[in-house]
């Protein structure tokens, strides 16, 4: 817990919590909105350098910090790109950048209990180019499309560098039937996002149904074929989380749900993955609580209710978030070390 609450990590948490403030100003219809949003984005981006400086100065560099710091960066960049689609950011560029960011994040989490991979030089250049490109779009700077193109190029190139490093660390079998199904489910996420952005909700519902069904199929096939792997558990959990975040962000952008729901999602989106990482490092396996399984199922049901504009969708969302927060508190308790053994 001491590592979790170190000063650099607290700055990172604050940075994550302030992302909705940036989005609110980005969307508000007020004078100088773009410049205010750009200023907040600069402050949030510079806080990344601040927490790193303090961590080095006070010798508070922690394994958790090395994980949540890049996650905070990716949340900020992803949120900015999603809300800027059609306002200077082409959808394909946003999808390429966001997909690369979270795929690499997932792969880094896969090897976190073996080796923490810090950001390399290309990764830092990638972050700088993304920040400049997003700022150029926000203030409508000339040639901002070319800034975005440069960011995409560095994003892809740096991603390849991480893949090479991770490939040298991994020595587990990842190509089996259950994992291939999960890869297919992961690959459908960008298509699902595009259909929501383009307001083709019938297609969104169909793709979402395929994703949910395949979520059950990979688990069933893993048990039947005796091909359950730690990689599969982590990949499945990561894909579930990314699907939920993507769905709520896009449904908020398109006005299908109120902003309060995505704001309520912030804390679980931070602390559930963080707690899972702590437990993964401690027990070397992905632990999933029963209430977490139930909450994921209810969340899927809630997303379907939103897509079909079910009359009681608000009530379903309330139940969903009650379960989600109970799941979050359960993970926090487990990861805090309050129990000598983990009984799930």
Supply the pTM of this predicted model.
0.64
More confident residue, 153 or 215: 153
The per-residue pLDDT for range 134-151, each reduced to its tens digit, is: 999 999 888 899 999 999
* Whether residue 61 sits in one domain with residue 189: no
| Number of domains making up the chain | 2
- Which residues are CB-neighbours of 153 under 8 A, at least 6 positions away? none
243/262 same-domain check: yes
Q: Looking at the structure, tell me whether residues 46 and 74 fall in a common domain.
A: yes
CATH number at residue 280: 1.20.120.1760
In a shared domain, residues 128 and 198? no
**Domain identity same for 219 and 138:** no
DSSP secondary structure string, 231-299?
A: HHHHHHHHHHHHHHHHHHHHHHHTTSS-HHHHHHHHHHHHHHHHHHHHHHHHHSS----HHHHHHHHHH
- Which pLDDT belongs to residue 343? 40
Domain match, 214 and 97 both: no
- 157 plus 290 within the same structural domain: no
Query: CA 326 to CA 305: how far, in whole Å?
Result: 22
Residues spanned by the domain of 328? 173-344
Using one digit for the tens of pLDDT, what is the confidence trace for 23-42? Answer: 888 888 888 888 999 999 99
């Amino acid at each position: 817990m001491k590592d979790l609450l170190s000063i650099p990590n607290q700055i990172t948490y604050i940075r994550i919590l302030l992302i909705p403030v940036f989005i609110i100003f980005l969307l508000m219809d007020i004078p100088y909105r773009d410049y205010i949003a750009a200023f907040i984005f600069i402050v949030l981006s510079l806080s990344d350098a601040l927490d790193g400086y303090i961590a080095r100065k006070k010798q508070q560099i922690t394994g958790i910090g090395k994980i949540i710091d890049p996650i905070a960066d990716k949340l900020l960049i992803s949120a900015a790109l999603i809300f800027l689609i059609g306002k200077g950011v082409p959808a394909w560029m946003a999808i390429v950048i966001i997909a690369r960011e979270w795929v690499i994040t997932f792969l880094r989490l896969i090897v976190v209990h073996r080796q923490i991979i810090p950001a390399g030089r290309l990764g830092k250049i990638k972050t700088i180019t993304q920040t400049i490109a997003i700022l150029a779009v926000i203030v409508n700077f000339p040639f901002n499309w070319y800034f975005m193109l440069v960011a995409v190029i560095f994003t892809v190139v740096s991603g390849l560098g991480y893949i090479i490093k991770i490939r040298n660390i991994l020595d587990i079998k990842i190509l089996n039937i259950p994992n291939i199904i999960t890869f297919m489910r992961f690959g459908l996420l960008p298509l699902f996002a595009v259909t929501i952005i383009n307001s083709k909700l019938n297609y969104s519902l169909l793709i979402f149904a395929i994703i949910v069904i395949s979520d059950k199929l990979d688990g069933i096939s893993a048990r039947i074929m005796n091909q359950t792997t730690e990689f599969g558990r982590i990949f499945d959990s990561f894909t579930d989380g990314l699907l939920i975040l993507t769905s709520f962000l896009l449904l908020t952008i398109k006005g299908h749900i109120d902003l309060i729901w995505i704001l309520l999602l912030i804390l679980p989106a931070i602390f559930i993955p963080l707690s899972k990482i702590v437990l993964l490092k401690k027990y070397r396996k992905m632990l999933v609580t029963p209430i977490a399984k139930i909450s994921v199922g209810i969340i899927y049901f809630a997303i379907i209710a939103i897509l079909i504009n079910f009359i009681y969708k608000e009530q379903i969302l309330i139940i969903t978030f009650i379960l989600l927060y109970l799941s979050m508190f359960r993970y926090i308790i487990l990861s805090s070390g309050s129990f000598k053994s983990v009984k799930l």
